[in-house]
């Protein structure tokens, strides 16, 4: 009985953390800039490739994480300057343009890196709870995901730059009247969101490996989590992830992963029907 | 080519348009005499898919609803046709069912969303989520216990061996040429029908709702009812497209519901022009032939090219291929055209 | 220069005559000097291409070698390649295009069962011939279809026998990909297990895009089996082997894969993740025969690629060669003539002697049991010579019923 509960809790925690991990980058960008980056899955994939290459080049895993986050952050800034910048305010157009970007990146990676999956091994082993083995790395992933959430919160709430970003998010005109360049704020925000995506990919790679189509598995779930979460990026994503992750985790454990996924999707539809602007749609303040 | 969604769009079409339709029909009827059957096959597919694109652009351009989930009705239409025809053998009635069931589902889903006052991006997300639900659900029906009547759903693999259309009086199912005629005529009929729909009061109310929903409500129209009707109509058109696909390829599969297919619909409409009716038809044709050609020519990654095209079109050709070409044409033809319009009281 | 109506009519009719002359000449039989056309429909792009890329090159290499030796029946061979982009719609279109427009003499291709089932009716409609080079779940009974890959009786039966009787692992937990290959293969595993005194504790199916196997790993540990059987397929499912090693470990619980290696998993996974997985195959790069070594060298030279080739790559080669032998035997490239000559056609290939069984149009071949090693390769455990496709033979007899055209499934 305790065993089953521990297993269930472990699986739910893992499911929630995975959702937080893959959604946070998209949420930051959507919540702060009203831009939907459908190439988010590909940013995750690129971060995963970065991590694999870094580790194969000899770096320790932690360094590879950092390198991936940084590299994809820079790539995100590049994308923002070239594409996103022209499409502010046009929600549908950013969605479509980033969709095109996503297809393009998948095609480019397949052409230059080949379609074969790659991966790196984890030497983290497992810990035993009773007669059950739990993968240590899954727990590490959960810790990192929650850490990312905490760090983003701290950055937003307790640093000057966070203040500037929140101000621009609430009212870009006044912010610019006070000397803040919204252009630069958006660029940095997009870069930060991309870095979060890259980090997510890097953290996932020891579990899932990487191939050019990795992003496709994640983008739909991340997209749905963020939209259902509503306009506040952190509270919304955290709540939506908790809700979906719990449902998916429990259903997948009791029945099968298909039931978990379909259950997640159905709950999303119900939530959106009851709260048409997402979970935090009506909330005025907060992050 | 005049933009259908200019404000003179609700007027009856000009004679030039009727001539265009007549010429197109003549060309389509005589085409099989000049073209070999594998090209007829490819063209038929383009016609079938352009119906799907039409259903989406009708909803988006006329009514302002961006639905990512037209593939739901497309897939439902295909599967309904397959299951009904393979269980009962009446392919004619199967077509009817394949139109009715997706329309019914459109009624339910549309009621859920439109009467729930869900709007913009959230509605688009829900339609996307619904198509993913269907895809995942059907993909997981591989086991032998998933049977509808005597036909196995087959999950991932889809249902092969779907019979072609064979109406009473026909000694054998439609040939490739017959499918060509069916698909091309269906496309023409739907295109003309939608265009003429605009001239009816119903159509004009829809356009009014797209322009300013609150104003229409203040004028006394229940915008929800009209939006729902449009949603059901577009669902039926997409269902027809799905059934014709089943007749064309003799197979249906969960891929009809997936994210890739939903993305393709959007790409066709964007490339062709989201505010016209003829645009999506052209967009579908262009992208489809590009995909098939790329695959046989060994150029390389098709997704790379398609993604690039989508980005370019969104950034550079906002309106899509046809309106941009149309605008360029008008610019070249000169300002005399514009002045003529102004004098006769049209505003563009 | 003025271009009056008379000149126009003259030019136009001249042009028309010139253009239609090709058609006339072709019909006059001048086509004898034209090349023999092979349609090769495989997924060079899209999620399925890890299974196809080597096969595409191996097919090309086989044709190259045949041409270098003078071609077939005095004619050169030409491959028309179509990239079906992991999209069944394109399989359907290209198959029709191949026969209707490009007038090919044989269709070689398709890797998934769904692509095969989409193309078979088209091949039948155009009365052509289809060579399918992949391991699959067995049971296809169609005289216009030839299968050159392993079927369950050839690979699963010896695997189950080895695991249950030699390794003593009777209690099994089965995981399979959720489509007809996984569904039918898992039934075969259960059937052979029960016949040999084993026990299937549970069977679970996974859609092809699942990457999170934590729930099932927990369920496996709770069920306490003696062996885990995997019929998982594709890139996403590869993560199972990673997560299995980090959570349970093959040292602690035996792991057997029925299609492991076909997707070149040993290349994508780390050596530790590869080490210990038991599988059955008809070809691995390191087979200790001269034929295998020679093939690997020739392939590396032809393709310029240095990495592991694998079973699916070699299937492409043997498929072309077997068909070529049948053509030589029949003395004609016409599908109906070749079909009559299929039974008994033999070829000595990289994996040993291949023989086409005329009753089922499936291939008799040598089978080897192997286990992944710590160098990203495989070590041989046991070999079986000339295994017959017994599962399909039990239900299919094309000699007695040449018009049979369906896929049979096992009943438990």
Looking at the structure, tell me whether residues C237 and C310 fall in a common domain: no
Report the distance separating Cα A94 and Cα A38, nearest Å: 8
Looking at the structure, tell me whether residues C179 and C242 fall in a common domain: yes
Any domain includes B191: yes
Count Cβ neighbours within 10 Å for each residue of A172-206 and write b for 16 or more, e otherwise.
Answer: beebeeeebebeebbbbbbbbbbbbbbbbbbbbbb
Any domain includes C326: yes
Any domain includes B211: yes
Q: What is the pLDDT of residues B268-284, one digit of tens each?
A: 888 887 778 888 899 89
Best residue in C40, C53, C89 for a mutation probing chain B (most B CBs within 10 Å): C89
So what's the pLDDT on residue B95? 92
- Is pLDDT larger for residue C15 or for residue C376? C376
User: Residue B139: its chain C contacts at CB < 8 A?
Assistant: 178-179, 207-208
Any domain includes C370: no
Cβ atoms of B102 and B73 within 8 Å: the answer is yes
* B169 Cβ contact list (under 8 Å, min separation 6): none
Å from A5 to nearest chain C CA?
A: 12
Chain A residues near any Cβ of chain B (below 8 Å): 36, 83, 86-87, 91-93, 96-97, 99-108, 110-111, 216, 220, 223-224, 227, 258, 261-262, 265-266, 268-269, 272-273, 276-278
Report the distance separating Cα A187 and Cα A59, nearest Å: 29
Any domain includes A229: no
State percent of chain C over pLDDT 90: 56
Name all contacts of A171-180 with Cβ < 8 Å and 24+ positions apart.
none
Strand partners, B179: none
Any domain includes A178: yes
ipTM above 0.95, yes or no: no
Q: What does C382-398 look like in DSSP terms, one character per residue?
A: EEEEEE--HHHHTT--T
Look at strands C36-42 and C106-109 and give their pairing: parallel
Closest Cβ opposite residue B133 in set A266, A276, A277: A266
So what's the pLDDT on residue C56? 93
Å from A261 to nearest chain B CA?
A: 8
How many structural domains does chain B have? 1
Domain that holds residue C48: 34-150+286-365+391-407
Looking at the structure, tell me whether residues C112 and C52 fall in a common domain: yes
How many Å is the maximal CA-CA distance in chain B?
70
Looking at the structure, tell me whether residues C57 and C94 fall in a common domain: yes
Return the closest-CA partner of residue C158 out of C200, C188, C182, C202: C188
pLDDT band with cut points at 50, 70 and 90 for residue C209: confident
Q: What does C258-304 look like in DSSP terms, one character per residue?
A: SSTTTT-HHHHS-HHHHTT-EEEES--TT-SSHHHHHHHHHHHHHH-
User: Residue C134: its chain B contacts at CB < 8 A?
Assistant: none
pTM above 0.80, yes or no: yes
**Domain-terminating residue out of C281, C316, C342:** C281
Any domain includes C17: no
Report the distance separating Cα C266 and Cα C260, nearest Å: 8
- Is pLDDT larger for residue B108 or for residue A280? B108
What is the pLDDT averaged over residues A226-234? Answer: 86
Minimal-distance CA residue of chain A relative to B135: A262
Return the closest-CA partner of residue A110 out of A218, A217, A214, A221: A214
User: Residue B301: its chain A contacts at CB < 8 A?
Assistant: 107-108, 110-111
Please calculate the CA angle A161-A75-A54 and round it to the nearest 5 degrees. 105
Q: What is the pLDDT of residues B144-158, one digit of tens each?
A: 888 888 888 888 888
Phi, psi dihedral angles at C39 (to 5 degrees)? -85, 125
How many structural domains does chain C have? 2
Please report the residues numbered 69 through 108 in chain B whose beta carbons come closer than 8 angstroms to any beta carbon of chain C.
Answer: none
Return the closest-CA partner of residue C107 out of B293, C121, C74: C121
Return the closest-CA partner of residue A210 out of A78, A117, A286: A117
Report the distance separating Cα A281 and Cα A121, nearest Å: 41
Looking at the structure, tell me whether residues C292 and C400 fall in a common domain: yes
Residue B36 vs residues A189, B176, C96, C102, C178: alpha-carbon distances, Å: 55, 10, 11, 11, 39
Domain that holds residue A163: 20-212
Any domain includes C10: no
Phi, psi dihedral angles at C277 (to 5 degrees)? -75, 125
Domain that holds residue B141: 15-257
Q: Does B251 touch chain C (CB under 8 A)?
A: yes
Q: Can you give the CATH number for the domain in which C58 is found?
A: 3.40.50.2300
Minimal-distance CA residue of chain A relative to C209: A217
Report the distance separating Cα B285 and Cα B279, nearest Å: 10
Any domain includes B342: no
pLDDT at residue B4 greater than cutoff 50: no
What is the pLDDT averaged over residues C210-226? Answer: 89
What subunits make at least 3 CB pairs under 8 angstroms with C? A, B
Q: Do B270 and A86 touch (CB under 8 A)?
A: no
* C275 Cβ contact list (under 8 Å, min separation 6): C250, C372, C373, C374
Any domain includes B338: no
Report the distance separating Cα C255 and Cα C347, nearest Å: 34
Any domain includes C11: no
**Domain-terminating residue out of C228, C263, C281:** C281
Report the distance separating Cα B127 and Cα A262, nearest Å: 14
> Nearest 10 degrees: CA dihedral of B78, B82, B88, B93?
30
What is the pLDDT averaged over residues C65-84? Answer: 92
**Domain-terminating residue out of C264, C281, C298:** C281
Tell me if residue C112 falls in helix, strand or coil. coil
Closest Cβ opposite residue A99 in set B137, B263, B301: B263
User: Residue A11: its chain C contacts at CB < 8 A?
Assistant: 214-215, 218
Looking at the structure, tell me whether residues C339 and C262 fall in a common domain: no
Any domain includes A277: no
Å from C44 to nearest chain B CA?
A: 9
Any domain includes A240: no
Looking at the structure, tell me whether residues C173 and C269 fall in a common domain: yes
Any domain includes B9: no
User: Residue C210: its chain A contacts at CB < 8 A?
Assistant: 257
So what's the pLDDT on residue A172? 78
Looking at the structure, tell me whether residues C165 and C263 fall in a common domain: yes
């Amino acid at each position: 009985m305790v065993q089953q509960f521990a297993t269930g809790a472990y699986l739910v925690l893992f499911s929630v953390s995975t959702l937080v991990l893959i959604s946070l980058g998209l949420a930051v960008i959507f919540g702060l800039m009203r831009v939907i980056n459908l190439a988010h899955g590909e940013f995750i994939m690129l971060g995963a490739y970065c991590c694999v290459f870094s580790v194969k080049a000899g770096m320790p895993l932690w360094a590879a994480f950092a390198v991936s986050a940084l590299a994809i952050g820079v790539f995100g800034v590049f994308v923002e300057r070239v594409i996103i910048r022209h499409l502010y305010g046009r929600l549908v157009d950013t969605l479509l343009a980033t969709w095109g970007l996503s297809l393009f990146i998948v095609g480019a990676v397949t052409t230059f890196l080949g379609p074969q999956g790659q991966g790196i091994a984890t030497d983290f082993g497992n810990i035993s709870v009773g007669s059950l083995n739990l993968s240590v790395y899954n727990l590490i992933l959960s810790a990192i995901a929650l850490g990312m959430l905490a760090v983003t919160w701290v950055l937003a709430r307790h640093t000057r730059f966070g203040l500037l970003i929140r101000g621009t998010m609430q009212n870009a005109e006044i912010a610019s009247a006070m000397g803040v360049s919204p252009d630069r704020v958006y660029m940095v925000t997009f870069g930060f969101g991309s870095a979060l995506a890259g980090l997510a990919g890097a953290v996932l790679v020891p579990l899932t490996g990487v191939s050019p189509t990795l992003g496709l598995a994640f983008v739909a779930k991340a997209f749905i989590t963020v939209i259902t979460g509503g306009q506040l990026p952190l509270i919304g994503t955290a709540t939506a992830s908790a809700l979906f992750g719990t449902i998916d985790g429990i259903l997948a454990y009791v029945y099968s992963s298909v039931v978990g996924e379909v259950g997640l999707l159905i709950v999303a539809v119900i939530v959106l029907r009851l709260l048409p602007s997402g979970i935090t749609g009506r909330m005025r303040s907060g992050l | 080519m005049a933009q259908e969604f200019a404000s003179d769009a609700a007027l009856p079409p000009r004679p030039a348009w009727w001539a265009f339709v007549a010429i197109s029909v003549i060309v389509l009827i005589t085409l099989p005499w000049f073209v070999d059957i594998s090209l007829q096959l490819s063209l038929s597919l383009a016609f079938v898919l352009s119906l799907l694109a039409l259903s989406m652009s009708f909803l988006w351009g006329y009514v302002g609803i961006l639905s990512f989930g037209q593939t739901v009705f497309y897939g439902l239409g295909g599967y309904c046709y397959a299951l009904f025809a393979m269980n009962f053998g009446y392919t004619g009635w199967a077509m009817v069912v394949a139109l009715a069931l997706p329309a019914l589902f459109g009624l339910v889903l549309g009621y859920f969303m439109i009467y729930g006052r869900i709007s913009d991006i959230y509605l688009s997300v829900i339609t996307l989520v619904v198509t993913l639900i269907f895809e995942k659900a059907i993909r997981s029906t591989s086991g032998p216990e998933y049977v509808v009547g005597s036909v196995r759903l087959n999950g991932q693999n889809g249902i092969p061996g779907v019979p072609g259309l064979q109406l009473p009086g026909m000694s054998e199912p439609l040939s490739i040429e017959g499918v060509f005629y069916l698909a091309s005529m269906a496309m023409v009929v739907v295109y003309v029908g939608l265009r003429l729909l605009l001239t009816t009061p119903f159509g004009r109310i829809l356009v009014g709702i797209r322009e300013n929903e609150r104003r229409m409500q203040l004028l006394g129209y229940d915008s929800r009812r009209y939006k729902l009707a449009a949603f059901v109509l577009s669902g039926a058109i997409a269902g027809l497209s799905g059934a014709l696909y089943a007749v064309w390829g003799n197979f249906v599969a969960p891929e009809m519901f997936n994210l890739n297919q939903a993305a393709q619909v959007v790409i066709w409409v964007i490339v062709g022009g989201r505010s016209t009716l003829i645009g999506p038809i052209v967009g579908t044709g262009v992208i489809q032939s590009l995909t098939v050609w790329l695959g046989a020519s060994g150029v390389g990654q098709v997704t790379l090219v398609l993604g690039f095209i989508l980005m370019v079109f969104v950034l550079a050709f906002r309106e899509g291929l046809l309106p941009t070409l149309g605008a360029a044409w008008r610019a070249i033809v000169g300002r005399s055209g514009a002045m003529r319009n102004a004098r006769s009281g049209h505003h563009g | 220069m003025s271009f009056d109506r008379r000149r126009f009519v003259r030019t136009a009719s001249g042009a028309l005559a010139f253009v239609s002359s090709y058609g006339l000449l072709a019909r006059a039989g001048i086509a004898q000097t034209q090349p023999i056309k092979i349609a090769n429909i495989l997924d060079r792009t899209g999620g399925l291409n890890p299974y196809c890329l080597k096969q595409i090159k191996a097919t090309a290499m086989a044709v190259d070698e045949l041409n270098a030796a003078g071609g077939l029946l005095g004619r050169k061979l030409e491959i028309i390649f179509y990239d079906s982009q992991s999209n069944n719609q394109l399989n359907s279109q290209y198959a029709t295009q191949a026969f209707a427009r490009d007038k090919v003499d044989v269709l070689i291709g398709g890797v998934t069962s769904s692509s095969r089932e989409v193309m078979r009716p088209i091949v039948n409609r155009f009365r052509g011939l289809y060579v399918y080079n992949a391991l699959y779940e067995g049971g296809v009974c169609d005289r216009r279809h030839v299968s050159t890959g392993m079927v369950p009786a050839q690979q699963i039966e010896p695997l189950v026998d080895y695991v249950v009787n030699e390794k003593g692992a009777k209690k099994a937990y089965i995981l399979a990909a959720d489509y007809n290959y996984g569904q039918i293969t898992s039934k075969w595993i259960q059937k052979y297990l029960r016949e040999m005194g084993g026990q299937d504790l549970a069977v679970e199916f996974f859609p092809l895009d699942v990457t999170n196997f934590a729930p099932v790993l927990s369920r496996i540990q709770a069920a306490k089996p003696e062996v885990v059987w995997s019929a998982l397929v594709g890139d996403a499912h590869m993560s199972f082997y990673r997560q299995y090693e980090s959570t349970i470990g093959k040292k602690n619980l035996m792991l057997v894969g029925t299609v492991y290696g076909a997707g070149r998993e040993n290349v994508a996974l780390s050596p530790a993740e590869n080490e210990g997985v038991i599988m059955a195959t008809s070809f691995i790069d390191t087979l200790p025969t001269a034929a295998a070594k020679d093939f690997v060298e020739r392939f590396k030279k032809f393709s310029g690629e240095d990495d592991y080739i694998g079973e699916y790559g070699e299937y492409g080669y043997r498929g072309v060669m077997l068909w070529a032998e049948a053509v030589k035997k029949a003395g004609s490239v016409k599908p109906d003539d070749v079909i009559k000559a299929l039974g008994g056609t033999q070829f000595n290939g990289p994996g040993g002697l291949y023989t086409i069984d005329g009753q089922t149009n499936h291939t008799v071949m040598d089978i080897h049991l192997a286990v992944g090693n710590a160098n990203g390769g495989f070590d041989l455990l046991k070999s079986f010579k000339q295994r017959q496709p017994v599962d399909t033979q039990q239900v299919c007899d094309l000699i007695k019923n040449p018009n049979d055209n369906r896929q049979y499934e096992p009943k438990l």
